[in-house]
Each structure stands twice: as C-alpha cells, then as structure tokens.
Amino acid sequence: MITFEQLRADVESGAIDTVVVAFTDMQGRLMGKRLHGEFFVDEMDAGHGVEGCNYLLALEMEMDPVPGYAIASWEQGYGDFDVRPDMATLRRIPWLEATALVLGDVHWHDGSPVGPSPRQVLKAQMERAAALGLTPMMGSELEFYLLRETYEQAHAQGYAGLTPSVPYILDYHILATTYDEAFLRQIRNGMHGAGIKVETSKGEAWPGQQEINFRFADALTMADNHVVYKNGAKEIAFLNGCSITFMAKPFEDWIGNSCHIHSSLWRDGEPCFRDDETLFSRWLAGQIACFKELAVFLAPTINSYKRFAAGSWAPTTLAWGNDNRTCGFRVVGHGAARRAETRIPGGDANPYLAFAAVIAAGLYGIENELELPPGLEGNAYESDADRFPSTMREAIAALEAGTMARGAFGDQVVDHYLNYARTEQGLYDRFVTDWERRRYYERG
C-alpha cells in the first residue's frame, strides 16, 4: 500500500503515470476510469471525485440498462454519481506498467452515499457491529480454474472444449502445481506487491483447479483485497496467454469453484471467540437462521445454485459441524483462531454483499439471543437438516417473504437486489440452452 504523498512523488518522478479509480458493480466487477497520474493528483488536491454514469449500478451482466431500479432509469436520465477514492486502498499494481489503483465509494452529488452500492452495503453492516463494540474479521478462500485457452479463444469456441492446465485432479499435489508455478508465482508476488498479504497456494479438487489464500483482515479490507485479486488474476492470465474462471459451476461434471468465508468478531483488538462461547454460538446461530433469506446476497447468479450438489464439496444444508466439510457451516480453529467457516458462497460471490450478509445474519443472532442447534456429526448431505435454496427462484421467494433482511439492510437495498435477482431469473427463463436442443431437437 502507498500513501497519497508517495503517489505524488511517484507521479513527479514518472514511476507512476496511470491511476485506476474503481468501484464494484452489483456483480462484483471493477468499474471505473484510468486517469493520468498528474491529473489524478490535481483532482484530489482540488477535492474532486471521479464521475461515472449511475447506470453502472442498474445493469445486468451484459451491460444492458434494466428497468425497476429506483436509483437510475431512463426516466431520470441516467445521470452521474461521484466515485470518491478511499486513499486507504491506494496501491501499486505490479503487473501493469507504471500503474496504481484506488477503490472508491459511490456518492450522489449532494454528498450522500448511494445506499445499494455494494461497498456501502458492507460499510453499513460494519457500522452496526461497531455500535456494539465489535469488528467483524473475514477471510475468503477463492477457487478458480486455469485453462490453456485465452479469453478470446474461449469466446470463439463458445466456451466449449476448454483445456484445464493439468488433466487430472491436483488437490494438494506439489508436482502438478509445479507445472503452473510460473503463472501462480506471478499472481502470488503480484498480489504481495499490491499490498495483499499472501499466505498459500495449492491445487484443488478437479483438473486445473487452483486456490490462492490471503491473510484475514477486517471485513472491508478483505473485500477490497478480494476484488483487487479477482480482477488482477484475470489480468495476469490475459498477459500470460491463458484464462481463468471463478464461475461457480463451469460445467455440470466439474467440481464448482467455492468462496469459503471465515468469520470472527474482535473487540478492542482481541478475538472474542477465544473466550466468549455465547457470542460465538449466537453469531453462528444467526447465520444458520438467516442464510436462506439472504441467499440472493450469497449466491447471486443462476449458475451459483448449480454448484450445490451432494458429494461435491459444495454444501446443500444449513447444518453446522466441527471440522465437517459436508456441512454448510464448519467450525475450525482453536483459541484465538476459533472461527466459523461458511462453505455456501461460490467463486461468483460479490464479497461486499456476501460479507454484509454474514455480518447481518450474525448480528441478528446476537441481538435476538438465538440458541445454536446441535452440531451435526456424519454426512450432512444425507441428513434431514434444513436446506439452502437450490435455485435462484427459491432464493427470490425467501427474500420476498422475509423481514430480517429489510430490518438489517433497509427497503432500498432489498428492493434493489430483488430487482437484480428477478432480472437474472427472467433473462435465464427466456434463454434456450444447448441441453434443450440436444434433448428435444429430434426426439421432442
């Protein structure tokens, strides 16, 4: 990480000539502009933000404007909002020449925050926790597939016939990951140079699947690191003539990409779960009680729900267990490291929204003094434990019927993401898939 004064010096010396100013859209993608370094410094000295069209928080993934959003529409003219750089996120981007990046918060011209902006949704939940003297700490484990084809080649092939970097399951294999070490090392060292504390990388549970893990941090810092890493890893893949995907379920016969989220609470710089069993139990009980209603924030795409399959390492239930990978919630660590891992989100999760859902649910459990049900022993896939939604349609219905999310996030945020989810479902419902053609073209 660098300070604004360090950036100023680097711009004056020519070491940095480009500053990327970005925020995340609903899908978790970085959106923004590249500014010449000198212009960026001058604009910050003048107290200016960076303008962007407000339709960026009212789009579906293909960048088509969508009706039904209160914050932006054709009727309102699709005006601008301000992206205000958060200098605590300022960093050099080693894999791009002479480039720095800073993440920002989205505000209206009157200075008020754009409430449904994902970073604002998370910040609001962190403020709720802070009012109780608590700091949510998070760690996200993000899996991806490394493919031999470039993004251009994958697109030209219709994303069919793609070649995993290693043709066999490489979970924990040192030899197999050595084959891709030149690429993985670039990511590890690049992220370290971008101010993200790298811990480990390892092969995962399917051919070509990899995972790189980073040091936990407060929820906002971790979400910021998550989106910088996800975008940067794709850029590094492009620069190496290959591609990676964080898609939750790339193919029906592949293991899905997960985004396991580890969460704990700290107070006055010390971990609470080391000594406070009641707080831990209520925090976890809240997540178990609320995740069905919050599914849209945890599993944001149609494809998200195709990852949830028995025996796939992706959970299907809302059960919890001690170090039990078949459960939706796995309790791990001891003493100061004790924490809850939710295994429900996939690689397509928007970390700001997923972390906000974890915090909102946990606080609900604390505030309502929920009791933790008994832990599950054995195979959760074969248990009678309550199920997480298996389709986007179920997730929409749960959010529509519930009251907890509106109490935590407010009507504006819930209505915004309900519109997002309904749009995603509606677009999918109108699409004819290859599966349908293979099944019905001749025999239907």
- pLDDT tens-digit readout, 324-364: 999 999 999 999 999 999 999 999 999 999 999 999 999 99
Structure tokens at 265: 């609470």
Distance CA 27, CA 420 (A): 10
Distance CA 226, CA 218 (A): 12
pLDDT given for residue 126 in this prediction: 98
Averaged pLDDT, 374-403: 97
Q: What is the DSSP letter of 304?
A: G
pLDDT given for residue 157 in this prediction: 96
Any residues with CB less than 8 A from the CB of 215 and at least 6 apart, and which?
Answer: 139, 197, 198, 199
Averaged pLDDT, 105-128: 97
At residue 159 the predicted structure's pLDDT band, cuts being 50, 70 and 90, is: very high
Plot region of 322 (φ>0 → left; ψ -120 to 50 → alpha; else → beta) = beta
Q: What's the CATH code, domain 4-114?
A: 3.10.20.70
pTM check: above 0.85: yes
Residues 188-238: tens digit of each pLDDT: 999 999 999 999 999 999 999 999 999 999 999 999 999 999 999 999 999
The domain covering 125-435 belongs, at the CATH homologous superfamily level, to Glutamine synthetase/guanido kinase, catalytic domain (3.30.590.10)
Distance CA 283, CA 275 (A): 14
What is the pLDDT of the chain when averaged over all its residues? Answer: 97
pLDDT given for residue 67 in this prediction: 95
State in Å, rounded, how far the first CA of the chain is from the last one.
Answer: 59
pLDDT given for residue 432 in this prediction: 95
pLDDT given for residue 202 in this prediction: 97
Residue 67 CB coordination number (10 Å) = 10
Structure tokens at 219: 């929820």
Report the interhelical angle of 118-131 vs 219-239 (nearest 10°).
Answer: 150
Task: Compute the half-sphere exposure of residue 395: CA atoms within 13 Å on the CB side of its CA.
Answer: 27
* 125-435 shares the fold of 4-114: no
Any residues with CB less than 8 A from the CB of 199 and at least 6 apart, and which?
Answer: 213, 214, 215
Contact 207, 164 (CB under 8 A): yes
What ranges in 380-433 are assigned the alpha helix state H? 392-401, 404-409, 411-429
Plot region of 130 (φ>0 → left; ψ -120 to 50 → alpha; else → beta) = alpha
94 burial (CB, 10 Å; 0-12 / 13-18 / 19+) is middle
Residues 321-333: tens digit of each pLDDT: 999 999 999 999 9
At residue 118 the predicted structure's pLDDT band, cuts being 50, 70 and 90, is: very high
Reduce the DSSP state of residue 274 to 3 states and report it.
helix
Hey, which residues does 214 pair with through a beta bridge? 198
pLDDT given for residue 1 in this prediction: 93
Any residues with CB less than 8 A from the CB of 249 and at least 6 apart, and which?
Answer: 256, 257, 303, 304, 306, 307, 346
Residues 422-433: tens digit of each pLDDT: 999 999 999 999
pLDDT given for residue 435 in this prediction: 92
pLDDT given for residue 368 in this prediction: 98
For residue 69, the surrounding DSSP H or E stretch is: none
Residues 244-299: tens digit of each pLDDT: 999 999 999 999 999 999 999 999 999 999 999 999 999 999 999 999 999 999 99
Plot region of 14 (φ>0 → left; ψ -120 to 50 → alpha; else → beta) = left
Any residues with CB less than 8 A from the CB of 227 and at least 6 apart, and which?
Answer: 24, 28, 30, 103, 351, 352
At residue 385 the predicted structure's pLDDT band, cuts being 50, 70 and 90, is: very high
pLDDT given for residue 53 in this prediction: 96
Structure tokens at 233: 């890893």
Distance CA 234, CA 185 (A): 14
pLDDT given for residue 82 in this prediction: 95
Dihedral sign of CA atoms 11, 16, 17, 21 in order: negative
What ranges in 163-247 are assigned the alpha helix state H? 174-178, 181-193, 219-239
Q: Delimit the domains of the chain by residue range.
A: 4-114, 125-435
Distance CA 233, CA 239 (A): 10
